[in-house]
Amino acid sequence: MLFVGDEAGPGLYRDLIKIYKAAQEGDDRYDSFLNDPDLGMALAKLMGISASDTKLVEATWPISLTEFAKQQEAAESNVKGFRWETADPDEILKQFDDMQEQSYQYQQQLYFLIESLKALGMPEREIRVQLTERVSKGGIPGLKRDFIRSIFKGEFTPFVLADSYQEKYMENIRKEQIAERKAGRDPKLITNKWPQIEINSRIRQLRKGKYKFTQHPNLPLYLSEED
3-state helix/strand/coil string of 167-214: HHHHHHHHHHHHHHHHCCCCHHHCCCCCCHHHHHHHHHHHHHHCCECC
- Note the pLDDT tens digit of each residue in 149-164: 999 999 999 999 888 8
Q: What is the pLDDT of residues 110-125, one digit of tens each?
A: 998 888 888 777 889 9
**Distance separating alpha carbons of residues 214 and 43, to the nearest angstrom:** 12
Encoded amino acid at 41, one letter: M
Q: pTM for the whole thing?
A: 0.74
- Report pLDDT digits (tens) over 153-210: 999 999 998 888 888 888 888 888 898 899 999 888 888 889 999 999 999 999 999 9
> Domain segments of the chain: what residues?
2-209
Question: In this predicted structure, what is the pLDDT of residue 41?
Answer: 52
Neighbours of 152 (CB within 10 A): 16
The pLDDT assigned to 149 comes to: 94
Query: Which amino acid type is present at position 141?
Result: P
